[in-house]
Each structure stands twice: as C-alpha cells, then as structure tokens.
Structure 1
Amino acid sequence: MLDRIKASLPSLAPAEQRVARLVLADPRAFSSLPVAELAARAGVSKPTVVRFCRSMGYDGLSDFKLKLVGSVSEGVPFVHRSVDADDKTADVLVKVVDNTVAAFLKYRNDASSAAIERAAMAIAATYKTGRRIEFYGVGNSGIVAQDAQHKFFRLGVTAIAYSDGHMQVMSASMLGPGDCVVVISNSGRTRDLMDATDIARRNGATTIIVTASGSPLAAAGHIHLAADHPEGYDRYSPMVSRLLHLLVIDVLATCVALRLGSALPPRLKEIKQNLRSKRYA
C-alpha cells in the first residue's frame, strides 16, 4: 500500500500530495487520528483527505485506514489488493487496473536501463550476423514467449519460441556462440528453464533472463531483466506478472527496432499496406 502511494504521488493533485506525504511519514499515526486532525496536519480541508482516499481506490477514509492498519501490521505492502467475493464490478475494475498501474510505475522506477541496453545490443548483434534468436517460457510465461516471437517477427527478426521443456533442452543443445536466447519466467524457479539456460550458456549462447530478482534463474544467465511485482508466483491465475512481462518485451523490442537501422521503417510500411486488403473498408 505504501509503495503504491509513493508511485502515485506525481499523478495526484497538490493538496492530495500533502495528504499522501502525511501517510508516508507516519502511517500508524494516520490510521489512528480523526479526519479533522489529519486535515490540520496536512494543511488541507477534510473533504480533501477523503478525496485522497478515494483517489487511491478506496471507499473512503474508514476503508483506507482499515487497509493501512493491515499493511503496517503485516509489514507487507498492500500493492496487490485481492478482490473480495462481495466486490461490485466497479470495485473489481478499480482494483485490477490500480494493481497493474502500480506494478508498471514500480517497474519504470526500478528498471535497469543498462541491462535493457545490453540485452537490446545482444539481440541486434545476433540478428545482424544471422544467428539464432529463441524465446523460452513454460505455462503462462510460454504464452509471453510466443508473443515475443510475434513482436520480433514483425520487425523482420527471425525467431522461434518454445514452451515445451524437452524442445527447449534440445534446441539449447544446438545453440552456440553468437546465438541468443531470452528466457521468461514468473517464479524464476522452473526446473526445465534452468536446465535449458545452463545448456545454452555452456554452449556459448548469450542468455537473457526476464524474471524476479533473487531467484535461481536470475543468476543463471548473462543479462538479467528484473521483473519484480507484488503478485506471488504461486498464484493460480496470475495477471500482473503476465502484463509486466509483456511490457518488458515491448520495451526490449522497441530498443532493438531502433538499432536495426533505416531499413526497418519501409519494411513495416510495406507490411501495413499489404494487410489493407485483409480488412473491410
């Protein structure tokens, strides 16, 4: 919850920013003080305090205080707010969107541009030398790997995605120096991906890892693109992690596109023109 407030600060009105800073300065005191005292300490009106709570996606001051107490007492930020069984559609909309926006803003603030630069240069160099570019992922991350293949295919980059563990191991065994593999994982603890990464690295291929910091897989590759989020990797239906991985791939694909030179824009223009016949006027 506190991380989410920090990430939302730039988008808040000046008066609401003062309330936010009051929360961040002493969350325990904020949760126990009456609205009049909170307004006086922040130098705002009482309606502004309530408006701030609603801007953060809560029903009002009481709901905000309740969640704040839980966040402080548990010591874990309520960035990923679970949807309750009695939530209305509007509540679900706010919670899902806010969870995603908070994760994106956190990634924007925490991402290493140097690591992204290294990864983009490695993929661009592999493309220019005609070597192999591959994407690995299993389960939900396997779908992201397929999306990555599609994004790079549109750039004219020949790539392939594997979501089967046996295929990953076999393909990694055929990689060599100059090849590049991007491994995507939510948990960073999938055995098949660890095995394929180790094989590819031993064979001299450049390994780029998109996964959570501190995981075994994060340390197994040459370049780590951290994808940290508040969603546990054991969730049965992950949402934020999938969207964050897609965002990382979008950033990486854009950086690679800028390094492919002047030949790319005409090619993309031709693809767009050729697709016009596939659409209704």
Structure 2
Amino acid sequence: MLDRIKASLPSLAPAEQRVGRLVLQDPRSFASLPVSELAERAHVSKPTVVRFCRSMGYDGLSDFKLKLAGTVSEGVPFIHRSVDADDKTGDVLVKVVDNTVAAFLKYRNDASSHAIERAVDALMASWKARGRIEFYGAGNSGIVAHDAQHKFFRLGINAVAYSDGHMQVMGASLLSAGDCLVIVSNSGRTRDLMDAADIARKHGATVITITTSGSPMAQVGHIHLAADHPEGYDRYSPMTSRLLHLMVIDILATCLALRIGSTRLQPLLREMKNNLRSKRYA
C-alpha cells in the first residue's frame, strides 16, 4: 500500500501530494489522527485529505485509514474489496491488484513449509521411481492443472493433466504405488475430483490436494496444501484463487527442480530452447 502511494505521488495534484508525503512520513500517526489535524499538518483543506484517499482508490478517509492501519500493524495489507458496478477502470485496477497482493502475502505468512516439503518429497520419490505424476482440476482449476503439467513436463517429468471427469476416473484407475496425483480445487467439493482421489488412494498412489482448509477435498488426500483466500468459491469468475493455485504449483515445481539439480536439467532445458528457436521470428 505504501509503495503504491509513493509510486502515485507524481500523478497527483500538488495539494494531494502533500497528503501523500504525510502518509509516507508517519503512516501510524496518519491512521489514528482526526481529519482536522491531518489537514493542518499537510497544509491542505479537509476535503483535500478525503480527495487524496479517493484518488488512491478507497471509499474515503475511514476506509483508507482502516487499510493503512492493517498494513502498518501486521505487515500485510488488510484488503479484500469487491469490485462495484460503478467502479472506474482505475478503481478496478487498484482493487484487483490489491486483493491479489494481499492474498499472496497472507499465503506467504500462513503457508506450512512442512506440508510443502512433504509434497516435494512425494513428487521427488515418483520422479526417482519413474512413476506418473498427474494433475486434476475442473473448470478454472482445470486450467491450473494443465499449467502444472506444462511446468513439470519441461523438467523432463512424466506428467499429464486431465480436466474431464471421465478421464480423471480412468486415469486414477491406472495409478499405482510410486505414482503421485495432485488435485487442484477452489471449492474443495467437486464430486468428480473426490471420486478420483478415492480411486487413486485405493490403488496406492500418493494424493496431494491444493484446496481450501476445512473442505471435504482437504480431508481425502495424504498431503493437503492449504490455499485459503477471502474469495468465495461460488463466484462466477474466480481471480485471486486461480493465481494463488498457480503460485503453489510454481513453488512445487521450483523446489522439485532444485532437488533434481542443474546438472541434469540445464542440458535438457538448453536443448529444448535451441530446438524452439526455429519456431520464433528472429
């Protein structure tokens, strides 16, 4: 939040710039002082203080001070603001970015490194055993599953992704001990994914779930990677949840790549890059 204020200063009117500098100088005091004192310290009028807050994308001074207090006290922006029908483009930009950044920072602070370590151990064991690593998801989570397959495929890993329920059930039926199934689900309640998890477990595969805590899906896997966020799973177009799931996949892929080692991966990636050069314009 403070970084955004600093970056926005040049585009503000001179009077609003003085309010912005006052925020950056002492954000804790700004969050607690009345508007009359803030206006006096910044040498501006009271409406200018309110106008500055709205220029930064907030509903007014109270809304701005609430978010500012959360930022300076916890180190994580306390922001979850829905987009309103009458929002301007700048408002939408600020709200979507702030919601996403807040979710990422919250995940950084709340994520269990132990659970991630266990998941990487399981994936590494499947790679060593030349087993299968499969990614399942439905809807938006199906897109994440296919992105995961692409990332792991580039590491020379035998990975596939299915977003069709029938293919997931058939694929899970072919898994066995030494294989790994990673299920991505925003709601954690999709019936096809639950069925596939049960089948994979029955056949001895290790099941990793990336979903919200407290959901049925969180209970059916061997390893649960919590992906909690303030966005309801019944929203028509999930945004933050999809990006959060993609980030978890990136963490797993990066950790696994480090385990495999650059000695193995660098020649493979170098050859892949060279072979793709003919596909691009010079």
Compute the TM-score of the two structures, normalised by the length of structure 2.
Answer: 0.79
Separation (CA, whole Å) in 1 of partners of 2:23 and 2:34: 18
Q: Deviations over 1:109-167 (max 9, x none)?
A: 11111111111121111011111110010111011101100111111111111111122
Separation (CA, whole Å) in 2 of partners of 1:17 and 1:111: 32
| Cα displacement (A) at 1:57 | 3.7
| Cα displacement (A) at 1:187 | 0.6
| Cα displacement (A) at 1:206 | 0.5
Indicate if the aligned counterparts of 1:35 and 1:49 stay in contact, CA closer than 8 A. Answer: yes
Match of 1:117 in 2: 117
Local SS of the residue matching 2:161: strand
Aligned-residue CA RMSD (Å): 3.1
Match of 2:271 in 1: 270
Q: Deviations over 1:80-100 (max 9, x none)?
A: 312122211111111111111
Match of 1:178 in 2: 178
Structure 1 regions of 5+ residues with no counterpart?
1-7, 24-29, 69-76
Instruction: Name the CA shift for 1:210/1:227 in 2 (closer, same or farther; >3 Å).
Output: same
Indicate if the aligned counterparts of 1:19 and 1:52 stay in contact, CA closer than 8 A. Answer: no
Identity between Structure 1 and Structure 2 (%): 74
Separation (CA, whole Å) in 1 of partners of 2:136 and 2:111: 21
The alignment covers a number of residue pairs equal to: 255
| Matching of residue 132 in structure 1 with residue 132 in structure 2 | yes
Local SS of the residue matching 1:263: helix
Structure 2 letter corresponding to 1:272: K
Structure 2 letter corresponding to 1:147: D
| Cα displacement (A) at 1:78 | 7.3
Q: Deviations over 1:8-34 (max 9, x none)?
A: 5798889548535875xxxxxx5xx73
Structure 1 letter corresponding to 2:266: P
Structure 2 regions of 5+ residues with no counterpart?
7-21, 69-76
Compute the TM-score of the two structures, normalised by the length of structure 1.
Answer: 0.80
Match of 1:244 in 2: 244
Match of 1:280 in 2: 281
Indicate if the aligned counterparts of 2:104 and 2:244 stay in contact, CA closer than 8 A. Answer: yes
Separation (CA, whole Å) in 2 of partners of 1:157 and 1:167: 20
2:27 to 1, 19, 26: 19
**Aligned ranges 1:123-202 → 2 under 5 Å:** 123-202=123-202
Instruction: Name the CA shift for 1:67/1:111 in 2 (closer, same or farther; >3 Å).
Output: closer
Separation (CA, whole Å) in 2 of partners of 1:192 and 1:89: 38
